[in-house]
Chain A
Amino acid sequence: MPAVFYPVLVKEMIILAEDKIPTMDEPVDVSEDVAEEEVEIKETFLQKLSRFYWGKNRSSPLTKPLRKWFLLFIGPVTAAFIIGFVWPFVQGIYLSMCKFQLIQDAEFVGFKNYISAFSDASFMRSFWYTALFAIVSLILINVLAFAVAYVLTLGIKGSNLFRTVFFMPNLIGGIVLGYIWSMIFDGILSHFGTSIVQDSTWGFWGLIILMCWQQIGYMMIIYVAGLNAIPEDMLEAAKIDGASGWQSLWRVTIPNMMPSITICTFLSLTNGFKLFDQNLALTNGLPVVMEGGVGISQTEMLALNIYNTFYGSNMSARGTAQAKAVIFFVLVAAIGLAQLAYTRKKEVQQ
């Protein structure tokens, strides 16, 4: 995704720089011209690349120095992006088709890993479990965050204090939250002779409560911004036309809020699917129930399932874990994009 932004950034840099170029000394320009000739003869690839970046403007004398130096500017970022993202990603896909214990010993086996990933009962279970979790948390988080944001924009006393307090759980890391909440839940559940790691129902709702607690504040901030951006006159016009509070909420406020809703649903849906830390710290997949001789972790979500497959005692399953990770990526990307496309359609132009 971020790759798309770099050319744009570069273009902006050039536009900014163009304004200043006339102040440059003439001699510099002359020497540039000489160098330019050589570059043009030798480096056709750079030429092409520069044409790609600023098309028609390429012949303008004002952009000459930039044309020559642009690689210096985009180089580090592009290199970092390739080293930190593109290369590992490509390698990850390759490894998903290998049997390996250490990356250096990878041995190509084709789609075998994908077959074993799909035939792994624990993986399929964690997929459905994750989907359920993502949907429930998506609904609860957004409805509650919207409600809180709505109340806090009505101008009640202490709104700012409330906003700060609601936002705070976001500042605590997922692992810490998981452990804190496991103590809270166990403190309560011990009175009933059970604990969060013993009952998968509690494990599920515990995780939902934890996530709501953590995420509502964050989504609330986005909704508050969205609510504040709704033109007053629109609401006023609705009021004059005799719309009830409920009607103006559904007919005016929410349609105008669609950009915020798009962002928030996207964030909470992908967060739900990608959830890891909280899952690890709260239940770590427990309880495990023996189903046909196979122990299945009842509260293990996709990311944790992948992690446990990769880092479990069975080192021969690392390729399978890698295949699961690729499937996971495709899934999260597809769901995220589909959801974006859907909610974008509902956005209105202000």
Chain B
Amino acid sequence: MKLKKVLALAMAAAMTGCFFAGCNTTDNGGGSDNSGGGASSTSAGDNGDGENAGGGSVYWLNFKPEADETLQAIAKKYKEEKNVDVKVLTAASGTYDQQLSAEMEKSDAPTLFVVGNPAKAKQWSSYTLDLKDTAVAKELNTDEYNIYDGDKLAAIGYCYECYGIIVNPTLVEQAGHKVDDIKNFETLKTVVEDIHSRASELGFDAFTSCDMDGDSSWRFTGHMANLEYYYEEKEAGSTWTEAPATITGKYLPNFKNLYDLCINNSLTDPKDLATGGHDPANEFKEGKAAFTVQGSWEYSSYAEKVPDAKMIPYYCGVDGEEKAGLNCGTENCWAVNAKASEENQKATLDFMYWCVTDQSASEMLVEAFGIMPFKQAVESTNGFLKDAAALEANGNYVMDWATNYQPNVDEYRKALVSALNAYCADQSEANWDQVKAAFVDGWATQYAAANAG
């Protein structure tokens, strides 16, 4: 009987426990009760209109899981130096948008968040503070990566990246070719097809697996698709400042050139790409393939194994592509929550300023993010970004990230992946027409859906 009583009591306790668990919020020092008004930051630079005596705090919702460790270290360092609390929360891969909406509902909402593209800036319009004339904006050395929402500077591109074709020069030379000889699609094709045809003899193949599952498919539907948008944009003579309602798909055959070259000359049979499950990054690092398509953010891990890895442009058979450069742009754009309290906004702006001016902080950030386009930020050691800069210095055109304008990006890319899967399984004209429909018609319908009412 006694046992029964104890059990009943335990049940009651568990039930009440569940009930009150919901009340347990307001931790994380998000309020104004931290830092006790002590040595608060006054590093606001030229907008230093008074001290941060209010003791605001910073809450950064980060979208790059791979940068989490660095950002936590930065937060700790800032707390030590300026005695201001910085909370960094990193959304799990692919869940940033959900996390952002969920966090924004809370009373303790992020003060600093990431807005990846103009469409997102529009969506979050009432939440983005105009960053024009802030100390951190004045530190920028280019306006190219910023996102405007009308006249408002909605988000500051705090770093930029590049993507293209990554080459292992040693392997290319082993096959009797030279990376410097690759100047356009024709020369790329010759080298790639030669390596693929002699793969068993050489012991390595041309391209790594072009998996179309999960994140790997972004390399094609996000990155490589950019060449189509970019050349359309280039032909029209001006860079997009907002998503066009329709695209023509005029350069889709060029996308097909490069895509076909990748899937048909790789370690994996095109039929097996939909399922995925390969590891393209490791294939490249282990020297199983001479080429892969990826971005500069992978530099440090690639360079560990292939120190002389080099990035070359997406050669796809467009006229004059000998002068092509890499695809440079960013989705890393800081926005400050316009609905945060004034002291938190100020603390956040101070923190941003510190990130791009403090020597050691910017060193850590540059290591994690790539080039930071700020006057006082340290130079990047990223080899791929150096390749991008060298090409640009040589007079080659930079391909901007027009891909950032993809309307309803998840839905758009999902349809594209599906169509490409069918095409990989059977490379027929009919299947390519499906790709074309997803690429061009899909753009129009998704644009209409995104902009309806």
The reply to whether A290 and B411 contact each other, CB–CB distance below 8 Å, is no
Residues of B within 8 A of A194 (CB): 271, 425
Main secondary structure of the interface of A (DSSP, over half): mixed
* Stretch in contact with the other chain, from B224-232, B382-390, B416-424: B416-424
* Stretch in contact with the other chain, from B128-136, B233-241, B439-447: B439-447
Mark A280-308 against chain B: 1 for CB-CB distance below 8 A, else 0: 00000111111001110100000000001
Q: CB < 8 Å: which of B104, B421, B438, B442 contacts A198?
A: B421
Residues of A within 8 A of B119 (CB): 313
Q: CB < 8 Å: which of B410, B411, B452 contacts A316?
A: B452
Residues of B within 8 A of A290 (CB): 415, 419, 434, 437-438, 441-442
The reply to whether B411 and A313 contact each other, CB–CB distance below 8 Å, is yes
* Stretch in contact with the other chain, from A100-108, A133-141, A168-176, A323-331: A100-108
Q: Is A49 an interface residue (CB 8 A)?
A: no
Measured between alpha carbons, how far is A79 from B417 in the docked complex, in Å?
47
Measured between alpha carbons, how far is A197 from B101 in the docked complex, in Å?
29
The reply to whether A293 and B442 contact each other, CB–CB distance below 8 Å, is yes
Residues of A within 8 A of B271 (CB): 190, 193-194
The reply to whether B415 and A288 contact each other, CB–CB distance below 8 Å, is yes
Q: Is B73 an interface residue (CB 8 A)?
A: no
Q: CB < 8 Å: which of B19, B411, B421, B450 contacts A295?
A: B411
The reply to whether B409 and A286 contact each other, CB–CB distance below 8 Å, is no
Residues of A within 8 A of B3 (CB): none
Main secondary structure of the interface of B (DSSP, over half): helix
The reply to whether A102 and B449 contact each other, CB–CB distance below 8 Å, is no
Measured between alpha carbons, how far is A99 from B271 in the docked complex, in Å?
43
Given the known A-B contacts A77-B15, A105-B126, are A293 and B105 also in contact in the complex, defined by CB atoms under 8 Å?
no
Q: Write the nearest CB–CB distance from B302 to chain A, whole angstroms.
A: 28
Measured between alpha carbons, how far is A79 from B407 in the docked complex, in Å?
43
- B98, B411, B444, B453 — which one has the most chain A CB atoms within 10 A of its CB? B411
Chain B's closest residue to A287 (CB) is B418
- A190, A287, A313 — which one has the most chain B CB atoms within 10 A of its CB? A313
Measured between alpha carbons, how far is A14 from B287 in the docked complex, in Å?
76
Chain A's closest residue to B18 (CB) is A80
Measured between alpha carbons, how far is A315 from B104 in the docked complex, in Å?
14
Of residues 163 through 212 on chain A, the ones whose CB sits less than 8 Å from some CB of chain B are 186, 190, 193-195, 197-198
Q: Is B25 an interface residue (CB 8 A)?
A: no
Q: Is A317 an interface residue (CB 8 A)?
A: yes
Mark B1-43 against chain A: 1 for CB-CB distance below 8 A, else 0: 0000000000000011011001000000000000000000000
Q: Write the nearest CB–CB distance from A330 to chain B, whole angstroms.
A: 25
Q: CB < 8 Å: which of A76, A104, A190, A286 contacts B418?
A: A286
Q: Write the nearest CB–CB distance from A253 to chain B, whole angstroms.
A: 38
Chain A's closest residue to B449 (CB) is A314
Q: Is B275 an interface residue (CB 8 A)?
A: yes
Chain B's closest residue to A290 (CB) is B437
Residues of B within 8 A of A102 (CB): 101, 104-105
The reply to whether B19 and A195 contact each other, CB–CB distance below 8 Å, is no
Measured between alpha carbons, how far is A314 from B243 in the docked complex, in Å?
14
- A79, A285, A314 — which one has the most chain B CB atoms within 10 A of its CB? A314
Q: Is B408 an interface residue (CB 8 A)?
A: yes
Chain B's closest residue to A296 (CB) is B415
Q: Write the nearest CB–CB distance from A10 to chain B, whole angstroms.
A: 14
Residues of A within 8 A of B450 (CB): 313-314, 316
Q: Write the nearest CB–CB distance from B375 to chain A, whole angstroms.
A: 35
Q: Is B174 an interface residue (CB 8 A)?
A: no
- A101, A285, A288 — which one has the most chain B CB atoms within 10 A of its CB? A288
Q: Is B114 an interface residue (CB 8 A)?
A: no
Chain A's closest residue to B421 (CB) is A198
Residues of B within 8 A of A101 (CB): 101, 123
- A105, A290, A315 — which one has the most chain B CB atoms within 10 A of its CB? A290
Q: Write the nearest CB–CB distance from A191 to chain B, whole angstroms.
A: 10
Q: Write the nearest CB–CB distance from A68 to chain B, whole angstroms.
A: 19
Residues of A within 8 A of B444 (CB): 293
The reply to whether A198 and B422 contact each other, CB–CB distance below 8 Å, is yes
Chain B's closest residue to A101 (CB) is B123
Residues of A within 8 A of B417 (CB): 286, 288
The reply to whether A198 and B123 contact each other, CB–CB distance below 8 Å, is no
Given contacts A101-B123, A195-B275, 16 further A-B contacts (CB under 8 A): A76-B16, A99-B453, A190-B275, A195-B274, A197-B421, A286-B414, A287-B418, A287-B421, A288-B415, A289-B434, A293-B442, A295-B418, A295-B438, A311-B98, A313-B119, A315-B97
- Complex A-B: 5 CB contacts under 8 Å: A105-B126, A198-B422, A289-B434, A295-B414, A295-B415
The 4 closest A-B pairs by CB, nearest first: A295-B415, A288-B418, A293-B441, A290-B437
